[in-house]
Amino acid sequence: MDTPIEHFIVPHVLQQNSFDCGPACVCMVLRGLGFFGINLWELNKKVAVSSIWTIDLAFLLRYYAPDLDFTFYTTHTGARADDKFYRSSFDEDERRVNRLFSIAKNNNVNVIRMILPLENFRRLLFNSKFVIIALVNSRFLKCQLCQVYKLRVNDYVGHFIVLIGFDPNSNCFIYRDPGITEQYCMISMNDFERARRSCGTDEDCIVIRMPSHQYLNR
């Protein structure tokens, strides 16, 4: 990897519970923007649910960074429980999630219903001006550094990660995983595509432009 990992401005944050990988990813992004006083406990309190959907993360970003340029891409604008991973809490999630999608535009949360092409991930991350929060199936997260799959299970396990760069030498994405202590991981384009296109993810991702100085010293 040509660029030292310390040059990536989004720091690593560990999740505190089994359900707060999403808020941990938001915490990484906010700290990368200069919101150093933000902590995961505060974000968990703000979202106030344990079954966290990508739309919740988009609203968290907008709440703490009202001028931030980001776009949420998904194949489905609403709540659905196609996978059993979501079914246990779906009844209480459905109304909240559908409401957030319905008010997104009025709250300056840009939602686009489409699959972001893999080549766009490579292009956006290569220029170091963007980071991407992505929903993936943990069972397909295979880090090239440790050469093992994150989870050896048969079912879908939704998990959020933050993609922070692209290494053209290895043709791998560089990402922060809030579920492990390692500061960063690397995953091949094919393995990432499998993880993010897995049934249950809706190919959800939030593409965030990282401004150079706008939010520093908050």
What residue segments make up the domains of the chain, in order of their start? 20-209
Evaluate if pTM is beyond 0.85: yes
pLDDT (0 to 100) of residue 152? 56
What is the number of residues in the chain?
218
Closest listed residue to residue 149, CA positions, set 111, 110, 113, 177:
177
Confidence of residue 50 (pLDDT cuts 50, 70, 90): confident
pLDDT level of residue 128 (50, 70, 90 thresholds)? confident
- 174-194: average pLDDT: 94
Alpha helices in the chain (DSSP H): 21-32, 40-47, 54-64, 84-87, 90-103, 118-126, 189-196
CA 86 to chain centre: 18
Closest CA to 85 of 136, 27, 24: 136
What are the backbone angles phi and psi of residue 21, rounded to the nearest 5°? -65, -35
As a whole number, the mean pLDDT across the chain is 88
Cite the DSSP H helix spans in 88-212: 90-103, 118-126, 189-196
Residue 216 clears pLDDT 50, i.e. is over it: no
